[in-house]
Amino acid sequence: METALALILTLPVRYGGYSIPQPVMNMLVPVKAGQGRGADKHYYRCDLAWPDRGVAVEYDSDAFHTGSDRIAADARRRNSLSYLGYRVITVGRQQMKSEAALNMVAVQIAKQLGVRLRPRSQNWAESRKRLRQELLSPF
């Protein structure tokens, strides 16, 4: 799903994407000396990240991010990434399934990156629908 999300965000508008700049996938965020008191690990991995902008996107799947222990661990992780200077946007399965919710996520990410979304194609809505069907149909 992380790959599908990255494709939806970054593919050109003519293919149904949002033309957002390419993220670094599974990026390692080290905890530097002196930052250790605000983080519970030596490093974190972000599903999608734009390190030059301090933006991270975490995909929370239903399979691995449910239950009180896992939810608490995810909250600690987001808090630690925030402490390390990252603005974290969380995306879940329901957002991926909803065109409106996924569009809102893209708008939020673009805003955090300082990128203007400019749908240049008259049939962008149809292209977005086809791309989502192609990438998300097995799910």
Q: Helix, strand or coil for residue 70?
A: helix
55 part of a folded domain: yes
Q: What is the pTM of this model?
A: 0.85
pLDDT value at position 63? 54
pLDDT value at position 80? 87
The CATH number assigned to the domain holding 56 equals 3.40.960
136 part of a folded domain: no
pLDDT value at position 38? 72
pLDDT by 10s per residue, the chain, length 139: 999 999 999 999 889 999 999 999 999 998 887 776 777 788 899 999 999 999 999 998 755 546 677 778 878 888 889 988 999 999 998 999 899 999 999 999 999 999 998 776 678 888 988 999 999 886 5
Q: Which residues contact 55 (CB under 8 A, 6 or more apart)?
A: 49, 86, 87, 89, 109, 112, 113
Looking at the structure of the chain, the number of domains it has is 1
Q: List the domain range (segments joined by +) for residue 76.
A: 23-122
Helical H segments across 62-123, by residue range? 68-83, 93-97, 99-113
Distances (CA, A) of 30 to 27, 41, 46, 90, 109: 10, 9, 11, 20, 22
pLDDT value at position 64? 52
109 part of a folded domain: yes
28 part of a folded domain: yes
The Cα 48–Cα 92 span in angstroms is 14
| Residue 7 CB burial class (10 angstroms; 0-12, 13-18, ≥19) | middle
89 part of a folded domain: yes
36 part of a folded domain: yes
13 part of a folded domain: no
77 part of a folded domain: yes
